[in-house]
Structure 1
């Protein structure tokens, strides 16, 4: 008898990335934040591939880069 288990992969990816970051020397709260960022970016990327989100237009990306460069300088 075969049983199938379905899980949400976002929490698993978050935990995995957090453990990796912690082993690289980050504090747990920092590692967890990095894990959440990895899971969020992965989810958004998949959403774009599935057509659920539209990619950000290049004009907006360029404007953000310029604004970031001004604040960093």
Structure 2
């Protein structure tokens, strides 16, 4: 949610920043370039997060398929 706020701020800021003097409307090509730059800058952290999320899911799937997990309530 915080990331969405940050991206929204950057998009708004980029739209205002790239607006020309003669044209009151925002320059959305500048906003697209700004989005792409943010996407590239945040890519390594996103890849790391996805790696650990996938790894955790695989570990959990492996654990839930084990005999010890399935027999956890038996004495």
Task: Report the TM-score, using the length of structure 2 for normalisation.
Answer: 0.36
Q: Say which structure is richer in helix.
A: 2
Larger RCO (CA under 8 A, 6+ residues apart)? 1
User: Which has the greater radius of gyration?
Assistant: 2
Task: Report the TM-score, using the length of structure 1 for normalisation.
Answer: 0.36
